[in-house]
Structure 1
Amino acid sequence: MCTAPPARLSLLALIGATVALLSACAGSISGEKVLGVVSPYRLDIVQGNVLTKELTARVKPGMSRAQVRDLLGSPLLTDIFHADRWDYVFTIRRQGAAPQKRQVVALFDGDVLKSLDLPNDLPSENEFVSAINTRESRGAAPKLALSAEEIKALPVPAKTAAPAAEAIGVQRSYPPLEPKP
């Protein structure tokens, strides 16, 4: 018969209870909280190009690939088997906000844009900012552009001639590079 000292038995019991408690904790992680109390930090995962209604409205059929790339950025997916198709995919997962996924497809005929397939739920810039804003707002959303009246009300900058640059340091005189005749 095996007899162990009582101190050793209590240590084994403590280790066994710790392992059982930890395995129970691992199984109770559900949703956003651990044991229904603690919310672990989750990284924000953003992939792809943010495309909005205002940005895609500037892209028109007949534009070159370079013009489309200048406006929308480099596509997330290009395929050598479908050389006339660019996929702009955007996904974002943030803690406290619903995950978002959108896909815009640009179809080309050679080097010319044939069509731009847009999803129905493509947001405007203000809608996108409010959708990813998980903090409490402290008032109205900031304006993203000036109105025509506000642009006209801006003061005209004064036209001043740039002052002549003063020579700094020691002034030296060098001989001419070509010999005199």
Structure 2
Amino acid sequence: MYRLLATACLLVSLAACSSLEFPGVYRLPIDQGNVITQEMVDQLKIGMTRSQVEYVMGTPLVRDTFSPNRWDYIYSLNDRNNEKQERHHLTAFFVDDKLSEFRTDIKPSPEQAAETAPDTEEAADE
């Protein structure tokens, strides 16, 4: 009798730890990190202060103590129901507490790209 009870407990314990998915069970999409949107990237301008960048983007996910002039924003969304994975990354660099450069995998909107692109006539004159 004890052997049967021990076997049943072992099987229940193993079933609880398994990665079996039950059909029809809804799983919530889980997003982690800082949400990075096109609108947020479009609001970033070279020369902004750290507090202005933090107001637009939120608190950075990674503030490296060895590189205090670099902030990293990372966002990931895993939706198991639709098997959708979304990942974005933005790195902001500061010089004298002003935004000097930022790199991201989100392309700027056409209006923003036209504003930040160097004027080709001025570059040709130099």
TM-score (norm 2): 0.65
Which residue does the alignment assign to 1:22?
Answer: 12
Aligned length: 107
Higher helix share: 2
Matched, 1:84 2:74: no
Q: 1:29 to 1:81 in 2, by over 3 A?
A: closer
Consecutive unaligned residues of structure 1, counting only runs of 5 or more, are 1-10, 125-181
2:99 to 113, 132, 144: 113
Counting aligned pairs with the same residue, the percent is: 33
Matched, 1:99 2:85: yes
Runs of 4+ in 1 over 4 A off after TM superposition: 41-44
Q: 2-side partners of 1:96 and 1:77: how far apart?
A: 29
**1:58-83 per-position Cα deviation (integer Å, ceiling 9, x unaligned):** 11112111211111111111122101
Higher strand share: 2
Matched, 1:75 2:65: no
Q: 2-side partners of 1:112 and 1:24: how far apart?
A: 55
1:62 to 24, 39, 47: 47
Give the greater-gyration-radius structure (CA).
1
Q: 1-side partners of 2:8 and 2:102: how far apart?
A: 58
Offset of residue 108 of structure 1: 1.0
Offset of residue 27 of structure 1: 7.3
Q: Give 2:63's aligned amino acid.
A: T
Consecutive unaligned residues of structure 2, counting only runs of 5 or more, are 110-126
Q: 1:28 to 1:68 in 2, by over 3 A?
A: closer
RMSD of the TM alignment (CA)?
2.9
Offset of residue 26 of structure 1: 5.3
Kindly indicate whether structure 1 or structure 2 has the higher relative contact order, using CA contacts under 8 Å at least 6 residues apart: 2
